[in-house]
Amino acid sequence: MSDQKAELNWLKVHPITPVVTVWKGIAALVGIIAIQNFRESVELIHYLQDYTQLGGLAWVLIPLAFILVFALLVGLYAAISYRFIGYALEPEAIHYRKGIFFKSEREIKMSRIQAIDVVQPLLGRLFGLANVNVEATGGNESKIEIGMLRLPEAEETRARILYLAAGFSEDEGESPSAPSQAENAETEDGSAPSADVTPPVLRATPVAPETELYRVNLPSLFVSVALSGWFITTVIVIIGVFSFAIYGFSSWGWRGFSGSLVALAPLFLGLISGSWNSISRSINFVLAASPDGIRIRNGITDLKAQTLPPGRVHGVKLSQSLLWRTRDYWRVEMEIASYQGDTEQSNNVLIPVGSRQDAVSSSWLIVRDLGVENPDQLWEEAFDGSRDSYQSFVPNPLVSRWFDWFTYRRNAVAITPHALVFRRGWLTKSINIVLHEHIQSVEISQGPWERRLGLANLHIHLVQGQILTVMPNIGAEHCRDLWAQVAQYSQQRRETEPSAKWMIRVQQVAAVSSSQDGSMSSGNTDFEMPDEADNPATSTDQEVVSL
């Protein structure tokens, strides 16, 4: 370990952390041992009954012995492991270490942080504890989970990380140092620091206030769930399961009834579990703006508070399923580099269900300026525009119907100096907005039949996730123009809209929301974003290669 790592101010987590992380594994190990030695345990109990004075008490003492062994193993591991768990914060990076025999230390650069989550599992809620999950570019493998910490300490740790990630140094703060963190500091070998060594000063960063912008409306949530395809599928499967069970009862009696239920139980329980997980992640859903970024809270048993800066979001997707059109419900999802390929899709949700105005207002948190004179007209065309009335969008040519039989009427694309917007869908409508500054590269592809019909496909190289990155069957000439414009705008936006120093921009959002003294709710929204002066973009020479 280098001298620089040894000088870090290592902080301790809560002593219960090793217990939470290992108790399931040790319980499984003890359970396996108990099952494998079940016959010997029963013989031992009979022996104690026959040759000692314990009698029936032996049936209590043997299970208690297994519980005692389990508790001793957990306690021993926790006492040893606790000495080797710690984290350190510095202006450039976050460090986390753990391990007894196989030690590991992970580091995330502040510039790579994409989002920070404060998660309270059910056990943590009982004791007022939480984990701080730091998400970085690269998916699950680059995540650091700090915890468990007391809830106020977890919120303060999140605030400090966001403060440092925004580009501010320790010297810029005016808050006094945090004695609680300094007292928890330790040296590299896990022992307490000596009196002659003065650890680096850590400043207590106050938790930034937040302004609530959206809270999920429970009646709208339950109606949207009832109108979703997976819920209808679940209801049909439940009816089918009980119909099959009734048929089994009429043919083979109770044995056929119970056998039918057992055979179909995995499918039934899987659908019910998936339905409940989807609902539970949307209940208590709150979207808020704060000086340190966008905050999202949700959950019933496990509470989660997600914080991310707008500059870390690569794009937005608005979607509406077929049955949702009867109530004009929309769902808004984000594209974040750290959550790409994440099975926990709630991490990418900006609002689970809301009105059209809710969807537009929440999208303004990410896309603050579309760079057009009349953004309302662009939004109106994105939602309900038709091929004959477009002004902001350019529809796909009519000849594209040979490839897109049902969607060619809706497929259209619009480009502005700040974003690329394209709409698609037939059964499920979608509006995809990609920010120019996050586009890595642009590609045009054209097959033989497309070349014959004068069509081409535009590929936007972005992190893979919810947002569509391919715009198929565009007119070839229009596709070449888009390619050149995207390349130019992407370069300009990266120069005028850096991802760092985003805190001041979000402060304006919170200030405007507070002055309006209102928040978004499903079906009722007065939230508006402040006007943002366009920064003059520096023009650069672009080398465009034609098809």
Mean pLDDT (10-residue bins), the chain, 547 residues? 63 84 69 72 72 69 77 81 88 87 84 86 84 77 83 89 74 40 42 40 60 89 86 78 72 66 69 74 87 84 80 87 92 78 63 92 84 88 84 90 89 91 90 88 89 91 71 91 90 67 51 52 41 36 32
CB 95 within 8 Å of CB 105: yes
CA distances from 213 to 42, 209, 370, 525, 529 (A): 62, 13, 21, 9, 11
Distance CA 146, CA 106 (A): 11
User: Does residue 222 fall inside a structural domain?
Assistant: no
Give the domain CATH number at 47: 2.30.29
User: Does residue 95 fall inside a structural domain?
Assistant: yes
Residue-wise pLDDT for 233-253, tens only, equals: 777 877 777 777 777 667 776
Distance CA 482, CA 478 (A): 6
Question: Alpha helices, DSSP H only, in 52-82?
Answer: 58-82
User: Does residue 270 fall inside a structural domain?
Assistant: no
User: Does residue 180 fall inside a structural domain?
Assistant: no
CB atoms within 10 A of CB 357: 18
Question: Alpha helices, DSSP H only, in 210-311?
Answer: 218-226, 229-252, 254-282
CB atoms within 10 A of CB 232: 12
Q: Which amino acid is at 343?
A: T
Domain hosting residue 86, numbered range: 10-166
For tokens 């060619």, name the residue: 408
Beta bridge partners of 127: none
User: Does residue 539 fall inside a structural domain?
Assistant: no
Boundary (domain end) residue, out of 129, 144, 166 = 166
Residue-wise pLDDT for 38-47, tens only, equals: 777 777 777 7
User: Does residue 290 fall inside a structural domain?
Assistant: no
Query: Quick check: helix, strand or coil at residue 425?
Result: coil
The total of structural domains in the chain comes to: 2
Q: What is the 3-state secondary structure (H, E, C) of 398-410?
A: HHHHHCCCCCCCC
Would you give the DSSP letter of residue 384?
H
Boundary (domain end) residue, out of 481, 496, 511 = 496
Distance CA 2, CA 381 (A): 59
User: With DSSP H G I counted as helix, E B as strand and the rest as coil, what are the percentages for the chain, rounded to 5?
Assistant: 45, 25, 30
pLDDT for res 241: 72
The number of residues in the chain equals 547
Boundary (domain end) residue, out of 496, 522, 542 = 496
CB 292 within 8 Å of CB 209: no
Query: Quick check: helix, strand or coil at residue 345?
Result: helix
Which candidate, 28, 9, 112, 97, places its Cα nearest to that of 337? 112
User: Does residue 415 fall inside a structural domain?
Assistant: yes
Q: In the sheet that 86-89 helps form, which strands lie side by side, from edge to edge?
A: 86-89, 93-98, 104-109
User: Does residue 210 fall inside a structural domain?
Assistant: no
Q: In the sheet that 470-475 helps form, which strands lie side by side, from edge to edge?
A: 441-445, 455-461, 470-475
